[in-house]
Amino acid sequence: MSARSSLLAVVLGLMVGAPAAAEAHAPPGTPIYLNRSYSFEERAADLVSRMTLAEKASQMLSSQAPAIPRLGIPAYGWWNEALHGVSRLQTAPSGNATTLFSTTSYPIDLSLGASWDPDLMYR
């Protein structure tokens, strides 16, 4: 996945939980990225176009993206990948991985190989 695709995925994820002020019938002058009457693609393009290069880069560092107050974007955690399950807490202030609770390891090569059980891998 390219850096641009990664940033777009993060932006789209933010917009799903957009602030309550972002109504489908937003008042005149509301930025497109806060107006739910536009498509996700239009909203993402508008938001990314308003971000400085430094703000875009800051959203892709480590696992803890800082807030962008001028655009109403809160700080959020985004690191996750299915090898370690999808139950990772996202907002560790240190930016380090947090404690895992009730995670699922999916049947991928790393998990299967760790079982040391060829019959289980086959099944």
Question: One digit per residue, pLDDT tens: the chain, 123 residues?
Answer: 455 555 555 555 655 544 444 445 788 899 999 999 999 999 999 999 999 999 999 988 767 788 999 999 998 877 655 555 555 555 555 655 555 555 556 667 776 777 788 888 788
Q: Give the separation between CA 99 and CA 96, rounded to whole angstroms.
A: 10
In this structure, what DSSP letter does residue 33 have? G
Residue 8 neighbours by CB under 8 Å, 6+ apart: 44, 48
Distances (CA, A) of 22 to 16, 76, 98, 119: 11, 19, 31, 53
Q: How many CA atoms lie within 13 A of 99 on its CB side?
A: 1
Residue where the block lists tokens 């239009």: 42
What pLDDT was estimated at residue 18? 45
For the chain, the distance separating the N- and C-terminal CA atoms, rounded to the nearest angstrom, is 31
Beta strands in 1-123 (DSSP E): 64-65, 76-77
